[in-house]
Amino acid sequence: MARLAGKDERNATVGKTLTHKLIENHLAAGRIEPGSEIGIRIDQTLTQDATGTMAYLQFEAMGIGRVRTELSMSYIDHNTIQIGFENADDHRYLHSVARRYGIRLSRAGNGICHQVHLERFGRPGKTLLGSDSHTSTCGALGMLAIGAGGLDVALAMAGEPFFLTCPRVIRVNLTGKLPPWVSAKDVILKLLDIFTTRGNVGHVFEYGGEGLAGLTVPERATIANMGAELGLTTSVFPSDAVTRRFLAAEDREADWAGLDADPDAQYEKVVEIDLAGLVPLAAKPHSPDNIGTVRELAGIPVDQVCIGSCTNSSYRELATVARILRGRVAHPRVSLIVTPGSRQVLENLARNGFLADLLAAGARLTESSCGFCIGGSHSPGSRSVSLRTSNRNFYGRSGTEDAEVYLVSPETAAAAVATGVVTDPRDLGMDFPAVAMPERFRVDDCMILEPAPPEKAVSIEILRGPNIGSPPENGPLPGRLDGEVTIKVGDKITTDHIMPAGARMKYRSNIRRYADFVFEGLDPTFPARAAKIRDNGRHNVVVAGQSYGQGSSREHAALCPMYLGVKAVIAKSYERIHTANLINFGILPLVFENETEYNLLDQGDSLEIPDLRGAVASGGSLTVRNATKGRSFAVTCTLSERQKRILLAGGALNLVKTRV
């Protein structure tokens, strides 16, 4: 790996953040000026089966013969239960695409993409772009690891730069040492308590301080993973002696490189977190930033405990749970679900006796997959309480709308298993069972398939089932907007609200079918009404509040509305990935210049922008006429020249096809 730049050559007295060093080493377009648009070269990509099928369909549509990255990984980890033929057909398609185009494939059962990539492929100093918002997990290794929509990942596989707003960097300075029964999950929950899920777009959290020495790479990964809930571009940890030990344990010490910020690096803000002063915390329903202490919540009866997911499913975390539960059986009321993050974690737990402890405690062991986290399995009972170590507790995400889902650490989860109620683990009356990280993990990559060599790949047939369709096409941006407010929604609308997960995910590769469920949980009449407006030659407009599009990276939350004829969203504010997805599929992300105008719009209002193409090309403020109410209001649409070209063309795929 090329040495990362140190001091700013223009001013030898100004140090650099690690984030900006990583960007500088991969800069393909623009300048490192926070707030400006830049393009960076991508070394590695990852996809998972819920988003990957569409990403590869888009890659195929570009006409590129082979991926142009150092490494591209395809993981099958979301829809592994394979209810119906659709998921199995998707997986067969992914197998054939991987062999044909030079992609390595992690088979179903090998593990969750973020855990496996951390173990086997992440490398300090590299860039990673993934079609999953929690790709930031690998920031724990000193990578610049960013979640994005599938089309952006497809473009990166084709050798195109990834464009983003040059981030502002906040230093999170960790001091002290975590006390017994307090873990990395409590660190990120504390940060969510401080910063909330809103207002952090365009920022990176860069971690430092003497407290880092006491955090293993999996613990750092938990913190980096849930940076997605903060709305960050990503999170970055230095690559130090702890990183080196982890890679050595994975038989990958040769991948290590020492990386850190300059001692005098300049940050937008520095936040101090005293690890020794933290206590067990929980995110209460229905948002990851609705934080309370576990002791405040003590005594709430618990019906289900789910331990695992890409956030808390490493070897030491599950081994710690096993030690806490050794000699105990799950409370009669509690259904205990345990999901190891990878096949490697499961095998090492089994070889060291911890798996037997979990099974003896009554654990229901699941496949190493995303199951319960995405509402794909183990939905809790109606009006029940579920404690989970996963990263999101949005309303209805578990698959049960009236369930109360709390996000907690593995230690707090284990305490509830033993007692049947929310319990501060410090009150269990036992010594904390410290578990050491192994010096060497048993490593077995037999479930990772290699692509065919180029000379044989051209003859490989791509296998497509009847549920797999081509990406829907979109025309150029129209000359004028003649639309209707088809739906008006409130604040913090997630991509789960826009495009449901769970059982609906099997239609991810069939946009025409999946579009039948747009806004299903908010207004099931939306798809039919939107299709009628589209078919009558008019445009659909969505009106929204703050933080529209938070949560998952799923581009389907833009792609399916595009298919139904949505041409614009007018919101108070947006989250990063969803903004990029809207632009990539030719939907205008408009922002109220005066937020009070939101209150004056109603579903059914007719909206007009006469010279739409001219207004987008010139940039800045646009005037929207509400023909129903006979008044006008101003919106802004802040776009780079590149984004203007994408929107005018009707989407990024149209633009790339033309160039290719």
pLDDT in tens, 490-512: 999 999 999 988 778 888 889 99
The CATH number covering residue 174 comes to 3.30.499.10
Residue of higher predicted confidence among 274 and 199: 274
pLDDT above 50 (res 9): no
Strand order, beta sheet including 281-283:
291-293, 281-283, 404-407, 385-388, 304-308, 335-339, 364-365
Position 659 scores a pLDDT of 65
From 243, 277, 311, give the residue that closes a domain: 277
For helices 150-157 and 49-61, the axis angle rounded to 10 degrees is: 50
Angstrom distance (rounded) from CA 81 to CA 85: 11
For residue 460, being part of any structural domain is answered with: no
From 277, 300, 315, give the residue that closes a domain: 277
For residue 315, being part of any structural domain is answered with: yes
Position 660 scores a pLDDT of 56
CA 221 to chain centre: 13
For residue 613, being part of any structural domain is answered with: yes
For residue 322, being part of any structural domain is answered with: yes
Q: Are residues 257 and 391 in the same domain?
A: no
For residue 118, being part of any structural domain is answered with: yes
**Share above pLDDT 90 across residues of the chain, in percent, rounded to a whole number:** 86
For residue 473, being part of any structural domain is answered with: no
Are the C-beta atoms of 179 and 278 separated by less than 8 Å?
Answer: yes
Q: Are residues 161 and 195 in the same domain?
A: yes
Q: Are residues 522 and 568 in the same domain?
A: yes
- In one-letter notation, the amino acid at residue 274 is D
Q: What is the DSSP letter of 260?
A: -
Q: Identify the band that residue 1 occupies on the pLDDT scale cut at 50, 70 and 90.
A: very low
Position 10 scores a pLDDT of 44
- The rounded radius of gyration (Å) of the Cα atoms in the chain is 24
* Mean pLDDT value of segment 452-474: 91
Q: Are residues 311 and 359 in the same domain?
A: yes
The token duo for 21 is 């060093």
pLDDT above 90 (res 618): no
Q: Is the dihedral of CA 89, 51, 162, 11 positive or negative?
A: negative
Are the C-beta atoms of 242 and 221 separated by less than 8 Å?
Answer: no
Of 447, 501, 506, 469, residue with least CA distance to 91: 506
Are the C-beta atoms of 377 and 87 separated by less than 8 Å?
Answer: no
Angstrom distance (rounded) from CA 639 to CA 647: 10
pLDDT above 80 (res 12): no
Angstrom distance (rounded) from CA 551 to CA 545: 15
Q: Which residue has the tokens 């974690």?
A: 345
- How far are the Cα atoms of 206, 229, 285, 311, 539 from residue 551, in angstroms, in the given order? 21, 7, 15, 15, 26
**What are the pLDDT digits (tens) for 96-119?**
999 999 999 999 999 999 999 999
For residue 449, being part of any structural domain is answered with: no
pLDDT above 60 (res 4): no
**What are the pLDDT digits (tens) for 224-269?**
999 999 999 999 999 999 999 999 999 999 999 999 999 999 999 9
Task: Give how many domains the chain has, as a whole number.
Answer: 3
Mean pLDDT value across the chain: 94
pLDDT above 70 (res 3): no
Angstrom distance (rounded) from CA 580 to CA 320: 40
Position 606 scores a pLDDT of 98
Q: Is the dihedral of CA 217, 325, 183, 404 positive or negative?
A: positive
* Mean pLDDT value of segment 1-11: 45
Position 422 scores a pLDDT of 98
**Share above pLDDT 70 across residues of the chain, in percent, rounded to a whole number:** 98
pLDDT above 70 (res 191): yes
Are the C-beta atoms of 94 and 508 separated by less than 8 Å?
Answer: no
Are the C-beta atoms of 601 and 565 separated by less than 8 Å?
Answer: no
pLDDT above 80 (res 532): yes
Q: Identify the band that residue 172 occupies on the pLDDT scale cut at 50, 70 and 90.
A: very high
Q: Are residues 246 and 347 in the same domain?
A: no
pTM of the predicted structure, to 2 decimals: 0.93
The token duo for 405 is 């889902």
Number of alpha helices (DSSP H) and beta strands (DSSP E) in the chain: 23, 27
* Mean pLDDT value of segment 191-206: 95
Q: Are residues 507 and 541 in the same domain?
A: yes
**What are the pLDDT digits (tens) for 290-349?**
999 999 999 999 999 999 999 999 999 999 999 999 999 999 999 999 999 999 999 999
Q: Are residues 221 and 79 in the same domain?
A: yes
Q: Are residues 653 and 622 in the same domain?
A: yes
The residues pairing with 48 across neighbouring beta strands, listed in sequence order, are 75
pLDDT above 80 (res 427): yes
Neighbours of 160 (CB within 10 A): 20
Least confident of 135-139, 181-185, 355-359, 454-458: 454-458
From 427, 447, 464, give the residue that closes a domain: 427
Position 77 scores a pLDDT of 93
* Mean pLDDT value of segment 270-287: 97
Angstrom distance (rounded) from CA 160 to CA 276: 45
Are the C-beta atoms of 601 and 635 separated by less than 8 Å?
Answer: no
- How far are the Cα atoms of 46, 128, 227, 379, 509 from residue 150, in angstroms, in the given order? 10, 13, 20, 27, 12
Q: Are residues 118 and 140 in the same domain?
A: yes
Q: Are residues 608 and 528 in the same domain?
A: yes
pLDDT above 50 (res 129): yes
pLDDT above 80 (res 657): no
Whole domain around residue 237: which residue ranges?
18-277
For residue 4, being part of any structural domain is answered with: no
* Mean pLDDT value of segment 524-547: 97
pLDDT above 70 (res 2): no
Q: Are residues 287 and 221 in the same domain?
A: no
* Mean pLDDT value of segment 528-550: 97
Q: Are residues 285 and 270 in the same domain?
A: no
